[in-house]
Amino acid sequence: MSENRQITDAGKTIVVGMSGGVDSSVVAAILKEQGHNVIGLFMKNWEEQDEFGVCQSAKEYADVIKVCDKLKIPYYCVEFVKEYRDHVFSHFLAEYQAGHTPNPDILCNREIKFKVFLEKALALGADYLATGHYCQNQIIAGVHHLVKGVDENKDQTYFLYANKKEILEKVLFPIGHLEKSEVRDIAKKYNLSTQNKKDSTGICFIGERNFRNFLSEYIQMKPGNFENLQGAVVGEHVGAAFYTIGQRRGLGLGGAGERWFVVKKDMQRNIVVVERGERHPALYCDYLTANEITWIGSDRPFNLPYKCQARCRYRQRDQDCIIAEDNGGVLKVEFSVPQRAITPRQSVVFYSGDLCLGGGMIIAPGPNYYEMQKELPDHLAD
């Protein structure tokens, strides 16, 4: 397998997506040192203040200016507030109102960073767009492929599976072959002001918020009952939309015994079903179905059944699976060990070793072990 794609001929015009963080700062520094014409480009996609009255985008742009001035490269700010609201945030809210738990980072990458932002970079005369994502762009047999970053704890391929090879042809990931500690060392070498800056977390382009308070500004809280699987009321919730399958924290349920977990939601009745115990059989199933499939390299590049690995959420270890069926674009994915808390409208992403094949949206988990009246095996998904 080839190395992470590098542009060896100096003098290319490369726009760097600058976020105000250490990763994109180091990308700009590396490309400048390699002799490229580097332009820093900052996106403003959210214009509201957080709960402390702070405009996060203004703070981040100030850090971008400091880094670009240090590196002596030009910088610009572009606004995609409308595009973000229309194509990411509105979808995010609609999914929550329907009782799902969406992942806005995936849609944000597809619709904003590697669509309108990439188009803007190319319109500025860029040969390539470079970002600080922890992943690699490798050319295998003449085709661009998405490959895991070397730093397993930072790998971001899960969020990028919806970007096809045609996008990858114009994109560089210059730090994908580095560990995070190495990136910070490079930032110190260049004495960049972001060298010790904390990694950003929270909602894509919105940042860290009290999530329930933030959502309640857009989604009406509709209190209802927590019930167990036998239909007994065990407490009251603030609104079914605000909970996700497998959730433990923030339920407000006490009493003697093991902790409570969300195992199911009934949006029509506004009921959140809970049970005690992290290993409750209602949380586990053997397969899922998925649609809205994207294959990075081409149309489905293999015949079925196909053995590979998959992740049903970010940070999960790769799970051995078989893609057993493709019924008109609806995949059936069977796992070698039971999977916990598979959540509709989250993404399932497929891998063959380090190679990210693509992914799709989870329609539903298969029957759980409680429904099947089966005992869980000793070995379960990590």
What's this model's pTM, rounded to 2 decimal places?
Answer: 0.93
The answer to whether residue 108 is catalytic is: yes
What residue has token string 């210059």?
Answer: 174
The answer to whether residue 2 scores a pLDDT higher than 60 is no
Active-site residue among 55, 68, 77, 108? 108
For tokens 């670009």, what's the residue? 68
Residue 47: pLDDT band with limits 50, 70, 90: low
**Given this model, what pLDDT does residue 254 score?**
82
Nearest to 270 by CA among 218, 221, 212: 221
Q: Which DSSP symbol is given to 169?
A: T
Nearest-Å Rg of the Cα atoms of the chain is 22
Domains along the chain with CATH numbers: 13-189 (3.40.50.620), 220-276 (2.30.30.280), 281-365 (2.40.30.10)
CA-based nearest residue to 359, from 107, 133, 138 = 107
Helix/strand/coil percent split, the chain, to 5: 25, 30, 45
Weakest mean pLDDT among 42-46, 129-133, 208-212: 208-212
Q: What is the pLDDT of residue 61?
A: 93
CA 7-12-16 angle, 5° bins: 85
Q: Which of 37-51, 62-76, 93-107, 295-309 has the lowest mean pLDDT?
A: 37-51
Mean pLDDT value across residues 276-282: 96
In the block, residue with structure tokens 């990458």: 109
Confidence of residue 305 (pLDDT cuts 50, 70, 90): very high
| Mean pLDDT, residues 159-182 | 96
Per-residue pLDDT at 1? 43
Catalytic choice (204, 285, 312, 356)? 204
Q: Where residue 209 falls among pLDDT bands split at 50, 70, 90?
A: low
H or E segment and range at residue 187? helix 180-189
Asked if the model's pLDDT at residue 5 lies above 90, the reply is: no
Residue 39 has pLDDT above 60, yes or no: yes
Task: Assign 166 to helix, strand or coil.
Answer: helix
- pLDDT reading at 364 higher than 70: yes
More confident residue, 117 or 204: 117
Q: Give the pLDDT band (50/70/90) at residue 10.
A: confident
Q: Tens digit of pLDDT for each residue in 324-333? A: 999 999 999 9
Instruction: Show Cβ contacts of residue 88 under 8 Å, excluding neighbours closer than 6 positions.
Output: 45, 104, 107, 108, 111, 112, 204
Rounded Cα distance between 55 and 221, Å, is 26
Q: Are 144 and 200 in contact (CB under 8 A)?
A: no
> What percent of the chain clears pLDDT 70, i.e. is strictly above it?
94
> What is the phi/psi pair of residue 102, to 5°?
-75, 165
- pLDDT at 297 (0 to 100): 84
Residues 31, 36, 38, CA angle at the centre, nearest 5°? 75
Two tokens, residue 25: 């700062």
For residues 289 and 333, the answer to whether their CB atoms sit within 8 Å is yes
Is 77 considered catalytic here? no
Whole-angstrom distance, CA of residue 76 vs CA of residue 83 = 18
Question: What are 23's two structure tokens?
Answer: 């990763």
pLDDT reported for residue 9:
76
When pLDDT is cut at 50, 70 and 90, the band that residue 213 belongs to is confident
Instruction: Quote the crossing angle between the two packed helices 22-33 and 56-71, to the nearest 10°.
Output: 20
The mean pLDDT of the chain is 92
Cα separation, 324 vs 220, whole angstroms: 40
Whether the per-residue pLDDT at 192 is higher than 80: the answer is: yes
With a pLDDT cut of 90, the percent of the chain lying above it is 79
